[in-house]
């Protein structure tokens, strides 16, 4: 074998023809990685395009184009009649020459647990699984499905923001200021929709409502204050306030929003409220209560913090103006998250208040996270300027309205006389109360076993926690899947009220045989839960390799292998499950796969997701 073939083999470039990356990009990235890791050393010669294309079984032009880009970017150099070589290092360190001396074993976590103050650790009751969109029926509110992302509009706005003149503008150091074009667009086109008139020094761009609320808590909430909160409310807000030495009064929610007596609310120094669409029930604060709240604020100098939760889903016929945009709203500070359908690309929010408050918030923002990226701010400004944002909001609202109709119709069909729904004119979720005997946490577990994600709501409550309430959302599920999803929820509902109906016993006649097990599992992804409740995703490669990741941030990972032995599915992890071999009988019911021990008891289950066939580029 000649040198070219030897080097082509040592590159170990694995071509994945199902990858969204082009073959050219895969080759280029692998060579860049090998240079960075010292596998390819300075001055080392690369195989010819012909030899590498033969080794990888790709066209020669693909390799030539990858090589040309690597030369243009300065990773490789071309020498006449000699070939291509890794560029010599001209400064800095060569990673391949560095001896890595870090710990060879995993650090002792006990040391760090003792140093972390338990009181400072957030205790969130629920978090979204990182692979939520792999579930057949994600009936949850918050994440948006891909069909709602405005691809064409975002690309056009990005092209404008990335023109040379625009880059020269937003790369200029502007101190703590936000993008002036975005501020002007917010003043003229966004805030007036809620009745808000604001000068540029009364507006601060944030990375969402949560950062705005954090800034407000640090600036305005002082020890000894009395703070009024809705019950239920968003748990992250409650966590922010738990760090303060304050008295907290909680006010319940009905179908007209926060319930309060004027004498009771008058004791508060600050009120946190979501009047447009209450977070999380979706109820709107009635006109009578809105006026009463503003009257109390003006009379007692009470500060009102307005969280305009998901206002984007009710813009065609807004129920009412923002409190900040209403007569008497001078003591109101307004917060909102912008462009939620664009959340995968940007995460922007707005904080509107008196100029002194905004100046202080801007200074505090500098200490913590500084301003959101100027390139993102300018891109969103172009979305607003070209009218794309308004068009996106109309599409989103129409889509959610149709999905909510489908959800209500399905609930009325499958669960009549079993549940009640809190009335809400707008939004993308239903707040549902079941019979007193219903355990919503158990319902969530049983629904997930059927491929449905729903949201128990206990984490939203500070006190008087109901156990029979849950929430269904439509931001992440297609309209034509909603009826099927509710059908599965209804089945889980019945099982929860009568657990005997869901007892699972091994039925040999339903067990898969060896070849069928392999067909079902090869190339599939498994979605399940660890024993302590964290989401877990397992990829079963066709070559028998197994890759697992667990946790709400995919922080726990392991690899292993799987195989079929007779009529048993077998697996062995490197670290998980003590690295021992497991042998199980397999039953497949729709999208649910179940593993049974040899003695017949159910060991575990998962949602099985089959990988879609690769789409040809000509079809995109």
Q: Which residue has the higher pLDDT, 616 or 382?
A: 382
Q: Same domain for 336 and 484?
A: no
Q: Same domain for 264 and 386?
A: yes
Q: Same domain for 244 and 348?
A: yes
For residue 246, pLDDT beyond 90: yes
| pLDDT at residue 102 in the model | 54
Q: Which residue has the higher pLDDT, 518 or 507?
A: 518
26 burial via Cβ count (<10 Å: 0-12, 13-18, 19+)? buried
CATH number at residue 309: 3.40.640.10
The CB-side HSE value for 485 (13 A sphere, CA atoms) comes to 26
Would you place residue 604 in the very low, low, confident or very high pLDDT band (cuts 50, 70, 90)?
confident
- The pairing of strands 226-231 and 247-254 is parallel
| pLDDT at residue 481 in the model | 94
Coil, helix or strand for 556? strand
| pLDDT at residue 614 in the model | 52
Q: Which of 502, 525, 543 is the last residue of a domain?
A: 502
| pLDDT at residue 313 in the model | 52
Span between the terminal Cα atoms of the chain, in Å: 41
Q: Which residue has the higher pLDDT, 67 or 316?
A: 67
CATH number at residue 80: 1.10.10.10
Contact 251, 265 (CB under 8 A): yes
| pLDDT at residue 106 in the model | 57
Q: Same domain for 482 and 512?
A: no
- Mean of pLDDT over the chain: 85
Q: Same domain for 346 and 314?
A: yes
CA 28 from chain center: how many Å? 30
Q: Which range marks the domain in which residue 528 is found?
A: 508-610
The C-alpha atoms of residue 261 and residue 252 are separated, in whole angstroms, by 11
**Cα radius of gyration rounded to whole Å, the chain:** 28
Mean pLDDT of 448-459: 90
Number of domains comprising the chain:
4
Q: Which of 357, 374, 390 is the last residue of a domain?
A: 390
Q: Which of 480, 502, 524 is the last residue of a domain?
A: 502
Tell me, yes or no, whether 113 lies in a domain: no
Tell me, yes or no, whether 117 lies in a domain: no
For residue 263, pLDDT beyond 80: yes
Q: Same domain for 371 and 438?
A: no
CA 316 from chain center: how many Å? 26
CA 217 from chain center: how many Å? 24
Contact 270, 258 (CB under 8 A): no
Would you place residue 615 in the very low, low, confident or very high pLDDT band (cuts 50, 70, 90)?
very low
Q: Same domain for 277 and 371?
A: yes
Q: Which residue has the higher pLDDT, 271 or 615?
A: 271
The answer for residues whose C-beta is within 8 angstroms of residue 318's C-beta and 6 or more apart is 193, 194, 276, 311
Q: Same domain for 205 and 337?
A: yes
Would you place residue 484 in the very low, low, confident or very high pLDDT band (cuts 50, 70, 90)?
very high
The answer for residues whose C-beta is within 8 angstroms of residue 208's C-beta and 6 or more apart is 337, 347, 348, 349
The C-alpha atoms of residue 403 and residue 139 are separated, in whole angstroms, by 11
Tell me, yes or no, whether 108 lies in a domain: no
Mean pLDDT of 26-35: 89
Q: Same domain for 241 and 365?
A: yes
Mean pLDDT of 233-259: 91
The C-alpha atoms of residue 265 and residue 288 are separated, in whole angstroms, by 15
The fraction of the chain above a pLDDT of 70, given in percent, is 87
Q: Which two tokens stand for residue 617?
A: 């580029």
Lowest mean pLDDT among 17-21, 252-256, 409-413, 602-606: 17-21
The answer for residues whose C-beta is within 8 angstroms of residue 358's C-beta and 6 or more apart is 201, 202, 203, 204, 351, 352
- From the list 584, 556, 579, the residue with the least C-alpha distance to 568 is 584
| pLDDT at residue 90 in the model | 54
The answer for residues whose C-beta is within 8 angstroms of residue 575's C-beta and 6 or more apart is 558
Contact 335, 305 (CB under 8 A): yes
CATH number at residue 582: 2.40.128
- The pairing of strands 452-453 and 137-138 is parallel
Mean pLDDT of 78-97: 73
Q: Which two tokens stand for residue 27?
A: 């080759």
For residue 124, pLDDT beyond 80: no
Tell me, yes or no, whether 197 lies in a domain: yes
Q: Same domain for 289 and 179?
A: yes
The fraction of the chain above a pLDDT of 90, given in percent, is 47
Beta bridge partners of 184: none
Tell me, yes or no, whether 326 lies in a domain: yes
For residue 16, pLDDT beyond 60: yes
Coil, helix or strand for 601? coil
Tell me, yes or no, whether 616 lies in a domain: no
Coil, helix or strand for 452? strand
Tell me, yes or no, whether 618 lies in a domain: no
Q: Same domain for 233 and 321?
A: yes
Q: Which two tokens stand for residue 150?
A: 């405005």
Q: Which residue has the higher pLDDT, 55 or 570?
A: 570
Contact 448, 490 (CB under 8 A): no
Would you place residue 540 in the very low, low, confident or very high pLDDT band (cuts 50, 70, 90)?
very high
What does the pLDDT look like over 131-159, one tens digit per residue? 888 899 999 988 888 888 888 999 999 99
Tell me, yes or no, whether 226 lies in a domain: yes
Mean pLDDT of 536-556: 90
Q: Same domain for 421 and 537?
A: no
- From the list 15, 8, 18, the residue with the least C-alpha distance to 54 is 8
| pLDDT at residue 618 in the model | 43
Lowest mean pLDDT among 208-217, 406-415, 519-528, 594-603: 594-603
pTM: 0.77
What does the pLDDT look like over 487-499, one tens digit per residue? 999 999 989 988 7
């Amino acid at each position: 074998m000649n040198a070219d073939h030897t080097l082509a083999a040592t590159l170990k470039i694995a071509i994945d023809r199902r990858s969204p990356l082009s073959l050219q990009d895969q080759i280029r990235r692998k060579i860049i990685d090998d240079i960075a890791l010292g596998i390819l050393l300075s001055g080392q010669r690369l195989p010819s395009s012909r030899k590498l294309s033969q080794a990888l079984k790709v066209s020669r032009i693909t390799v030539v184009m990858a090589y040309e880009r690597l030369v243009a970017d300065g990773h490789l150099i071309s020498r006449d009649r000699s070939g291509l070589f890794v560029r010599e290092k001209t400064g800095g360190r060569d990673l391949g020459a560095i001896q890595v001396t870090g710990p060879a074993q995993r650090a002792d976590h006990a040391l760090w647990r003792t140093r972390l103050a338990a009181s400072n650790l957030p205790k969130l009751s629920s978090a979204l699984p990182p692979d939520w969109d792999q579930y057949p029926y994600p009936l949850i509110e918050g994440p948006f499905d891909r069909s709602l992302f405005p691809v064409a509009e975002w690309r056009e706005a990005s092209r404008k923001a990335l023109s040379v003149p625009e880059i020269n503008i937003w790369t200029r150091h502007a101190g703590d200021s936000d993008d002036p074009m975005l501020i002007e667009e917010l003043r003229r086109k966004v805030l007036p929709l809620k009745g808000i008139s604001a000068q540029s020094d009364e507006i601060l761009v944030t990375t969402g409502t949560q950062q705005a609320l954090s800034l407000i808590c640090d600036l305005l909430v002082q020890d000894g204050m009395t703070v009024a909160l809705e019950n239920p409310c968003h748990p992250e807000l409650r966590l922010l306030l738990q760090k303060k030495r304050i008295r907290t009064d909680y006010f319940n929610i009905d179908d007209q929003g926060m319930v309060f007596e004027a004498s009771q609310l008058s004791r508060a120094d600050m009120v946190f409220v979501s009047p447009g669409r209450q977070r999380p029930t979706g109820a709107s604060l009635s006109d009578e209560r809105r006026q009463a709240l503003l009257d109390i604020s003006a009379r007692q100098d009470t500060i009102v913090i307005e969280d305009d939760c998901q206002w984007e889903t009710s813009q065609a016929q807004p129920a009412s103006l923002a409190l900040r945009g209403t007569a008497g709203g001078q003591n109101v500070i307004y917060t909102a998250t912008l462009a939620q359908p664009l959340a995968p690309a940007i995460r922007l929010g707005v904080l509107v208040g008196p100029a002194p408050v905004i100046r202080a918030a801007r200074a505090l923002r500098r200490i913590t996270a500084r301003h959101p990226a100027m390139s993102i701010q300018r891109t969103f400004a172009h979305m607003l300027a070209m009218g794309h944002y308004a068009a996106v909001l109309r599409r989103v609202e129409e889509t959610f309205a149709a999905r909510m109709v489908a959800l209500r119709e399905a609930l009325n069909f499958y669960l009549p006389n079993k549940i009640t729904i809190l009335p809400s004119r707008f939004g993308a979720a239903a707040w549902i109360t079941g019979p007193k005997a219903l355990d919503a946490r158990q319902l969530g577990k049983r629904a997930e076993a059927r491929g449905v994600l729903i949201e128990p709501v206990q984490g939203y409550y500070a006190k008087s926690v109901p156990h029979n309430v849950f929430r269904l959302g439509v931001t992440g599920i297609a309209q034509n899947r909603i009826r099927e999803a509710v059908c599965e929820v209804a089945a889980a509902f019945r099982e929860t009220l009568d657990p005997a109906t869901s007892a699972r016993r091994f039925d040999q006649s339903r067990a898969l045989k060896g070849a069928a097990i392999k067909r079902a599992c090869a190339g599939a992804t498994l979605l399940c839960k660890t024993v302590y409740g964290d989401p877990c995703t397992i990829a079963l490669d066709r070559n028998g390799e197994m890759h697992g990741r667990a946790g709400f941030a995919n922080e726990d990972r392991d690899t292993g292998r799987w195989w079929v032995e007779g009529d048993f599915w077998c697996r062995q992890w490197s670290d998980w499950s003590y690295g021992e071999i497991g042998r199980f009988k397999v039953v497949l019911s729709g999208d649910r796969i179940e593993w049974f021990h040899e003695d017949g008891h159910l060991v575990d289950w998962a949602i099985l997701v089959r990988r879609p066939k690769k789409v040809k580029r000509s079809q995109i």
